[in-house]
Every structure is written in C-alpha cells, then in structure tokens.
Amino acid sequence: MIELQELFSIEYGHDLELNKIKKSTNSSDSVNYVSRTAKNNGVSAKVQEIVNLAPLEAGLITVSLGGSVLEAFLQDKPFYTGYHIYCLTPKIAMSDAQKLFYCTCIRANKYKYSYGRQANRTLKYLLVPSLDEMPNWVSDNGLNSFLGAEKSKISASHISIPYFEKTTELKNIFDLRNGISSTGLKEYDVFHSKRIPYIRPAKTQMRTLRSFISIDNIEMKNIYPPNTLFVSTNGEGSHTYSYVSTSKFVANSDVTILLPKNKNMPIEVKLFYSRCITANRYLFSYGRKPKGDKLKAIKPGLIIPCSVASSEATSILKNLAEVVVHLPTADSATIAAFFKWVTQSVSMSSQKVDSNQGDAVIGDLPPPPPEINFVY
C-alpha cells in the first residue's frame, strides 16, 4: 500500500460558482460542470465555455472533499469544477480501468469522513494499492468504461446460476460460523502488512470495514479468504445484508460466515445466494435478529426476476427461476403498474409468513396487470 500522492498529482479544480456561469442549452458545445454531488458521475450541469478559462482535460479523476465526501469519478469529457473538488492527474500512464479501480479505493475510505469531516488536508495521505498490487482482473475485464449497458455482457449459454424448483434452508447448503468478539482485541485505523480487516454489520459492503487487527493475535480458523460469503446478523439498519468478501478478513460477533458444503461453488453462485439472503430482511423487523437457527432456516425464497423488452434477458433469467416477469416496454404507465403489483405481492407474502402459513408460491400472488406478462 502506498499514499495516493505517490500515484497522482493532486490539485484543486476551478472553484467556480454555478450561479455565475451561463448554462448551456446546446449539448454540442457545452462543458460539464462537476460539483460535490454523488450522482451522474459528479456532473450537475452543462455550461457554456468561459472566455480565457480552459476546461480541464478528460481522463482526470475528480474527488469531492465535502458534501458527498470522497465521491470519486473518472471524467470522460473536458470539465469545469465547483468548490472543494480535487483533480487527480496520474503521474504515470494508467488505463481507464486502472483509474476506475482507484476511484473505488478512494470511495472505500468514506467511512473516515462522517459527521461533517472534510478530506481537503488528508486525501493525499490515503493508502491505496500500488500498481504492482492491483488485482489482475482490473486489466483483464475487457470492458469499455463508457459504453454503458446497451447489450448484455453474458449470454444464456455462458451463465452458471443454479435453477430452483424448490427452496431449501441455508443449513442444507452452507456450514455457518460466527465471528469473534472484539473484547480484548486491539484495533487499528490504518492498514499494515501484519494487520487484517475486521468487519462488522453494515447496509453497504463499503461500510463493513470496522478496523484492522493484528494477524498475530488471531487463530487461523477465524481468518477467511477472499470470495467468502457472510451475512450481518445484528443492527436495525444493517441486519441480514449479505456480501461476498473481496479480501481476507476476520468477522466480528455480529457477522456470520457461510461456508459452502460444495467446496467448488463458483463466485457467481455465492453472489446469487447473497441476494437471496438479503431478500429475507423483511422476516426480521421489529428487533428480530437473523441469528442461530433463524438464520439457518432462511430459504432462498420465491424469486421472480424481471426483464424489460429484451427476449435474450428473459431467456437468461429463466435459468434463475421458474417464472419471469416480462415488461414489453419501460414507459411510465408500465413501470407504475409493475411497482404497484410488486407492492401488493410483498404485502401478501409478508402476511402469509407472519401468520405462519408457510412460504409464498406463485399461485398466491395477486394476478399481474395487463401491462406485464408472466413467462413460464
């Protein structure tokens, strides 16, 4: 790990006030205005080019120092910036994929800047992987960063996701282990080669990092490898969220680790199960905790994927579930009808579970509106 300033030149942007710039109505000659928003790649407006002030060049990384602190984006077009935006210029040649990787590394430090803290003095000292430490998949993914998602990146012939005719309890698929208590552990805020991440329950995977602890003080059986499935088992706002780890870690006592009985379970299947587990959050409202036998008894549940317009997507999703909801179009009327039906379906399923009548099945759901179709 090295400091961010070893990889990038870090300088303030233009510090322009949006209300003093003329906004552009012509997209062909407009310039992006990057502010501290977390949306739209940081671009909050299109403005006219300012006389005697050249926009910054495309290919730089912008980082918000306040507001949506540490939101980092790779800018694909020339741009101006508002207040409290750092612009990062690589000191050595980097691909777009590598820059996007460092954007993710920067965002992973957001938890350090809660309660109004700003990053203007400390950003350059953030520790990130060196280019030599960067995972191979960053360069091997083969994705064009700015093409979007017009076409599916996979086809039905390449998908490897389990098909379920029936649901089963987690204990039949995984061995469950509890994390360890923090009592007696010395925790650190900074990573070191002799330390390992210590994770906690959280609503997002980025926030599961609680601290770092010394490897020397931990039994090897409590250290789990990358691509390990785990689930939060406590916390009103974070219980039942499930993730697949990206590095070695130790879990605290409010996290349960799920080890597949099938030792060769691929990562995409683990990711699938993580979404199935998270979908059961509604079972643990009102202070109920998904611990022990309650967690073991979670079932992947009634999964109904949804496709829009694409027959190829429908074909892929049929590998995932016995029925697919297909929306012929994505117009406002169809989307409104779809979400109304989803709300009714969730309400019905919850009532059945709460009254101990068992799990919902397809036949229990309210009939779909004419705007959507079931594909069996």
Distances (CA, A) of 124 to 8, 25, 70, 360: 9, 37, 12, 52
* Rounded Cα distance, 327 and 369, in Å: 11
Q: Which pLDDT value is given to residue 159?
A: 47
Q: Which two tokens stand for residue 124?
A: 């350059």
Q: Which pLDDT value is given to residue 350?
A: 55
Q: Is it true that domain 2-140 has CATH number 3.90.220.20? A: yes
pLDDT band for position 89 (50/70/90)?
very high
Segment 195-199 shows an average pLDDT of 93
Q: Above 80 in pLDDT, residue 360?
A: no
pLDDT digits (tens, 9 = 90+) for 215-249: 988 999 999 999 999 998 887 567 788 999 989 99
Q: What percent of the chain has pLDDT over 90?
A: 19
Tokens 């039994």 appear where?
A: 219
Q: Above 90 in pLDDT, residue 250?
A: yes
Q: Which pLDDT value is given to residue 230?
A: 94
Please tell me which residue, 287 or 132, carries the higher pLDDT value. 132
Q: Which pLDDT value is given to residue 149?
A: 45
pLDDT digits (tens, 9 = 90+) for 252-283: 998 999 999 888 888 878 888 888 888 777 66
137, 91 Cβ separation under 8 angstroms: no
Please tell me which residue, 297 or 268, carries the higher pLDDT value. 268
pLDDT digits (tens, 9 = 90+) for 124-174: 888 888 888 888 877 766 555 455 544 544 454 444 545 454 567 778 888
Q: Above 80 in pLDDT, residue 351?
A: no
Q: Which pLDDT value is given to residue 359?
A: 54
Terminal CA-CA length for the chain: 51
* Rounded Cα distance, 164 and 204, in Å: 27
Beta bridge partners of 56: 79
* Rounded Cα distance, 61 and 42, in Å: 10
Within 8 A by CB and 6+ apart from 201, the residues are: 208, 232, 233, 234, 235, 238, 239, 241, 254, 255
Q: Above 50 in pLDDT, residue 71?
A: yes
Mean pLDDT (the chain) is 78
| Residue 171 burial (10 A CB sphere; 0-12, 13-18, 19+) | middle
Q: Which pLDDT value is given to residue 355?
A: 55
* Rounded Cα distance, 361 and 369, in Å: 18
215, 268 Cβ separation under 8 angstroms: no
pLDDT band for position 314 (50/70/90)?
low
* 170-296 has the same fold as 2-140: yes
Segment 345-356 shows an average pLDDT of 59
170-296 CATH fold:
Adenine-n6-DNA-methyltransferase TaqI; Chain A, domain 2 (3.90.220)
Please tell me which residue, 367 or 187, carries the higher pLDDT value. 187
Helix intervals (H) in 67-151: 96-107, 136-140
Backbone φ and ψ of 41, nearest 5°: 60, 25
Q: Which pLDDT value is given to residue 335?
A: 74
* Rounded Cα distance, 237 and 202, in Å: 8
One-letter amino acid identity for 50? I
279, 346 Cβ separation under 8 angstroms: no
Please tell me which residue, 343 or 106, carries the higher pLDDT value. 106
Q: Above 80 in pLDDT, residue 353?
A: no
Q: Which pLDDT value is given to residue 287?
A: 54
Q: Above 80 in pLDDT, residue 341?
A: no
Report if pTM > 0.85. no
Q: Above 70 in pLDDT, residue 357?
A: no
Long-range Cβ pairs for the range 341-345 (8 Å, 24+) = 341/366, 341/368, 341/369, 341/372
Q: Above 70 in pLDDT, residue 118?
A: yes
Q: Above 90 in pLDDT, residue 97?
A: no
Distances (CA, A) of 92 to 10, 54, 73, 308: 13, 23, 18, 42
* Rounded Cα distance, 285 and 7, in Å: 46
* Rounded Cα distance, 180 and 183, in Å: 9
Please tell me which residue, 32 or 341, carries the higher pLDDT value. 32
pLDDT band for position 80 (50/70/90)?
very high
* Rounded Cα distance, 91 and 89, in Å: 6
Backbone φ and ψ of 219, nearest 5°: -70, 140
Per-domain residue ranges for the chain?
2-140, 170-296, 306-375
Q: Above 90 in pLDDT, residue 197?
A: yes
Tokens 């499930």 appear where?
A: 242
